[in-house]
Amino acid sequence: MSNGTTGWITVLLRLPVFYNPDAAGHRAPVEDEKFLDTADELARRIEVDVPDTRASREWLRARARDVLRQRFRQKAIYLKFVGPVEHLVVNEEEIADED
């Protein structure tokens, strides 16, 4: 986390394409609907970049633990926090090289 100031981080979620193996070792594919439901939920609640705060991290951790693990029948869900986020605005203006 940031040291006193609130920065921004990017959160990457690796969602599984197969469920964990069943008792016979078979790994069934995750249904497309579960990916669509998850994308809709995340789009309503967070953006790709979130404030680098304890509250943001705790919300994401709880969501992965309490919702995504069960939905995708996984022992674990991988979250990757990448920061700091740097924003660059690119527009239609031509940018001349300094050389």
Tens digit of each residue's pLDDT (9 = 90 or more) over 39-92: 888 776 544 578 889 998 899 899 999 998 999 899 998 888 887 777 667 777
Helix (H), strand (E), coil (C) string for the chain: CCCCCCCEEEEEEECCCECCCCCCCCCCECCHHHHHHHHHHHHHHCCCEEECCHHHHHHHHHHHHHHHHHHCCCCCCEEEEECCCCCCCCCCCCCCCCC
Residue 18's nearest CA partner among 8, 6, 27 is 27
Closest CA to 56 of 79, 87, 77: 79
pTM: 0.51
21, two tokens? 């193996």
